Amino acid sequence: MEKLAIACDHGGYDLKNAIKLHFADKVEFIDLGTNSTDSVDYPEYGQAMAKAIIAGDAERGILICGTGIGISIAANRSPQVRAALCTDVTMARLTRAHNDANVLALGARIIGEQVAFDIIKAFLTTKYEGGRHDLRVKQLGKGII
Ligand code: RB5
């Protein structure tokens, strides 16, 4: 069973619970919070994801905030994180195939539950293509070049 870190702010809390329930028999989730709809600051949860990836607690993760934007910006401050904000299945497929994205970001106020499930399925099942993409992905890991 794949281990996935998952984190959200208050805007993503309900969708996070729905995702955990929907994928319960396929994924072991490491839940990094938040644990209620009380208002919190999304940078804390984006950074918690980055720390979990760097520590090797999970190879991949899912982030959720209202738009998916703030929390993905926060996680992407770390060069080891390649967080991709996806609003459809094609984006999820291509960011795995071309960017080797290791974190999927979702906007709970932007997409519906079923779309989120379909995006996650594509993210989990699509393999990185390597080849011509390798140099570019390595460049991302170097930060500013
Ligand atoms: C919280 O209100 C909201 O700003 C946050 O969830 C996210 O959309 C930020 O990018």
State if residue 32 touches ligand 1 by the CB under 6 angstroms criterion: no
Question: Does residue 69 have its Cβ closer than 6 Å to ligand 1?
Answer: yes
**How many angstroms separate the CA atoms of 46 and 113, rounded?**
21
Report the nearest-CA residue for atom 3 of ligand 1: 66
Ligand 1 pocket, residue 76 CB under 6 Å: no
Measured CA distances, 3 to 28, 54, 71, 111, 145 (Å): 5, 15, 20, 24, 32
Chain segment 14-25, per-residue pLDDT in tens: 999 999 999 999
List 8, 10, 22, 65, catalytic entry? 65
27 Cβ contact partners less than 8 Å away, ≥ 6 residues apart: 1, 2, 3, 4, 124
Catalytic residue among 8, 22, 86, 98: 98
Rounded Cα distance between 85 and 64, Å, is 9
Predicted confidence at residue 11, as pLDDT, reads 98
Active site residue 86: no
pLDDT category of residue 143 using cuts at 50, 70 and 90: confident
Q: Ramachandran region of residue 139, left (φ > 0), alpha (ψ -120 to 50) or beta?
A: alpha
Q: Examine the pLDDT at 145 and tell me if it is beyond 90.
A: no
The predicted model scores a pTM of 0.97
Q: What angle do CA 130, 132, 137 make, to 5 degrees?
A: 65
Residue with CA closest to ligand 1 atom 10: 70
Q: Is 98 among the residues known to form the active site?
A: yes
Q: Please state the φ and ψ torsions of residue 7, each to the nearest 5 degrees.
A: -150, 155
Identify the CATH number of the domain defined by range 2-139.
Answer: 3.40.1400.10
